[in-house]
Structure 1
Amino acid sequence: MNTPIAITQGDAAGIGPEIIVKAWLTAPDLLAGCFVAGDVATLRRAAAWVQGEGVSVPVAQIAAPAEAAHVPPRCIPVLQAVAQAALVAPGQVSAQAGRMAGDCVVWAARAALRGEVGALVTAPLHKEALAAAGEPYARYPGHTELLQALAAEHAGVPVSAMPVRMMLANDELRTVLVSIHVSLREAIELVTESNVLQTLRISHQSVGAALRRAPRIAVAGLNPHAGEGGLFGREEIEAIAPAIARARAEGIDAQGPFAPDTVFMRARGGAEFDVVLAMYHDQGLIPVKYLGVERGVNVTLGLPLVRTSPDHGTAFDLAGTGRADAGSLLAAVRMARQLSK
């Protein structure tokens, strides 16, 4: 890519800064042209923790994304995207860390929307810390909703006109969610014909663009055995099946609803399907994460920019130890490169 990739540092009290350092240490060729939107002091501290393994990882401050291309390999280019402040304690929820994480995302997303950044890879943030930071971040449950709001603001449209969905993917399985960070009770209420149809349209367009062909979409039911003909619930009959029928009438290759306890196996490795549409957060994320957290990538579909992220959290219990695994972050960078082509 000629346009650099921005990697946000995530919550400074979590493992985000450390996995970024490890990524540059282990895969400098993959990270060529990438830079960190974050705090220089935080990244230097993380480098010192990782350097406990006996390897030097220098951090260089840059003033503009284009400068990342001129930094030597295994030297981490960091753009100071937040106001300088005292370092936060590792492993503790902090309003300061939440605000820093949010500010990094805002800076990088706006740079991507202006075309200065080719893709956005976000290290994990902590939802409690983000809420503790107060306005405007307290209104956003996570990255997805914050990026949706920023994209809508840039386009000059209401948030409702910028529908987005979460996809979690690895080399074996892709799953897209109808609802994201809501309670299970609210997630069930969101299983409507219009929401399922909108998710099918977004999945068809976004996954199809990545595959460069129409994707084969399997739709999971909400209830056990996909409702068993209405015996265990009528959502499949009244909402999911009608949405599939409308999608197929539009030329979308959607099938189902299938029993949710078996449909993911049918899509593993692209055997019968390219992606599974799941009705709620855990239904879709558990199968992908079971295959290996270090391999999974979170992708936001529907945005006018490419955004990927590791599929794990801030891991406060590992923060400051230098022992965190950078595998999922590296997978997120690889996918960002693929989607940006």
Structure 2
Amino acid sequence: MPPGPPATIRLVTNPPPAPQPVGRATVIVRKQPLEASAEPVPPRPFLKWAGGKGQLLGALLEHVPERIDTYYEPFIGGGALFFALAADPARTPRRAVLNDANHELVTAYEVVRDHVQALVDRLGDLEARYLAGDDEVRAALYYAMRDEAPSEPLEVAARLIFLNKTCYNGLYRVNRHGRFNVPHGRYARPRILDCPALLAASRALQTTDVRDGDFEAACADAGPRDFVYLDPPFHPLSKTASFTSYTKGDFGEADQLRLKWCIDDLTARGVPVMLSNSPHDWVVGAYQASHYEVHRTPARRAINSRADRRGAIDELIVTNEATRKRSA
């Protein structure tokens, strides 16, 4: 959806705090002011997301053109590359189109962009209630939030961020009915409200068009002066390694093939494209056969429901000729 008017970041006069019961605990809830004079921090992801590219930014940025009219990211996820570009004034795109098939994630981006003041207040309330409780109270609050299905955008965003910060290992996973089903993380002091990160993200998102839809439609208007970065759910290396349940419908082999056709179409139109994916034999063969440049880079999987499946693994970075020329 297109952005509304730029968000105004202002000082807020705090009302007298009111006590609110939380199970066996009582907590004083204070509204978190957005300090206009606070030292800004560089924009960074405000969510922990499976497959996040924070650790690979150096390798990815080598292939990104220095000047971009419109930056397209049809699978935004945590948005590490977008925020890295936004943090560098010399490389910040003029505008960006950010898309994902996960409606709750897209809603969170929209709320951070347009209503960061209200989101900070809501997360401050949730953080105070959570940290004031014992293990039993915290678990009860977590599962109550997990079972909710809000429709109001502010509540959708606050719930997603709260669950992301307090669930097991920051994993986002849904069942076949599209319901979030990750257990409670039981961390001592999770940072549910990261006000500097939300403020920085909100500033970076002011020139973005955030969309909720199919990846092909998201980049259909891209041209030669733009740049498209595609970071889809990876092609699983084996049946037991498969994890594509970021949305109700998995991203399967037919989608991987459709993604390849989409990249072929963008390439034929002279659009610079970069793809991240797993080093599956089909992926390597399909892109090398079409004369794309395929790079391997070491990565580390930090998010998995099983600790024995976290660790080092190669990822592919695939680029087309237009990207090589523009980033040279």
Relative to the length of structure 1, the TM-score reads: 0.32
Question: Which of the two has greater helix per residue?
Answer: 1
